[in-house]
Amino acid sequence: MASKLPLEFRLSRLTVESLRNLCDAQDVPGGSGLLKEHLVKFVLKNIDRRILEDFCRAQEETYFVENMAKAIKWATSRKIVEVDPESDYTLVNAVFTLRRSDGWEVYDIRFVNQTTDDIATSCECVDFREKAYFCPHQMAVLVRSLAEGLFTLDQWSGPMTSEAEDLILANVLGRRKRTK
Ligand SMILES: [Zn+2]
């Protein structure tokens, strides 16, 4: 999953703890007392760019596959994921609703697919708005859309990883990945 986002932004959305772990793993001292903003700059200055890109990619893939596992469970519930029946391949509108111990999470999600190779997706949550993640709410809508045949995995041009694709094929579509 290649990212077009700037490296500094990708680092800034990781936790302080994971950035400190990276410094430890790379034997780079001096980062332990720094707060997020300074730690990101410190890491950029002291660790090789390629290592940082690999690290971000690994963290992003973990985010993706862990949340996809949750999303697959949520997508089976019509109370949690409600897709507008007018939705089709070109436009999906959905509402995600989940009860939390301290209240409700309610987000509007939208996929706009006007061309064959670019899809615009959005969610109202912080993970999407501030961190530009393809968040678990969007994943849940994606899974439901695939389960209902609004489009196929082949037609999906949005974010995906090989591991997450395997999860969807096995748990949602009841198939194994085609051997290439
Ligand atoms: Zn979201």
pLDDT recorded at residue 166: 94
pLDDT recorded at residue 90: 92
- Separation of CA 179 and ligand 1 centre (Å): 32
User: pTM here?
Assistant: 0.90
The predicted model gives 149-176 an average pLDDT of 90
- Separation of CA 130 and ligand 1 centre (Å): 10
DSSP state of 173: S
The predicted model gives 69-86 an average pLDDT of 96
Q: Give me 50's structure tokens.
A: 């390629």
**Gyration radius from the chain CA atoms:** 18
Non-local (6+) Cβ contacts of 39 within 8 A are: 16, 19, 20, 31
pLDDT recorded at residue 4: 82
The predicted model gives 15-35 an average pLDDT of 94
| 28 and 83 within one domain | no
Beta strands in the chain (DSSP E): 81-83, 91-100, 103-112, 120-123
pLDDT recorded at residue 174: 84
In a domain, 28, yes or no: yes
Task: Give percent of the chain above pLDDT 70.
Answer: 96
Non-local (6+) Cβ contacts of 15 within 8 A are: none
Per-residue pLDDT band for 6 (boundaries 50, 70, 90) equals: very high
- Separation of CA 72 and ligand 1 centre (Å): 14
- Separation of CA 123 and ligand 1 centre (Å): 5
In a domain, 133, yes or no: yes
Per-residue pLDDT band for 50 (boundaries 50, 70, 90) equals: very high
Q: Which class for 179: exposed (0-12), middle (13-18), buried (19 or more C-beta within 10 A)?
A: exposed
Q: Which class for 169: exposed (0-12), middle (13-18), buried (19 or more C-beta within 10 A)?
A: middle
Q: Which residues surround ligand 1, an ion (CB under 5 A)?
A: 123, 125, 128, 135, 137
Structural domain tally of the chain? 2
Domain that holds residue 91: 69-171
pLDDT recorded at residue 178: 61
| 40 and 85 within one domain | no
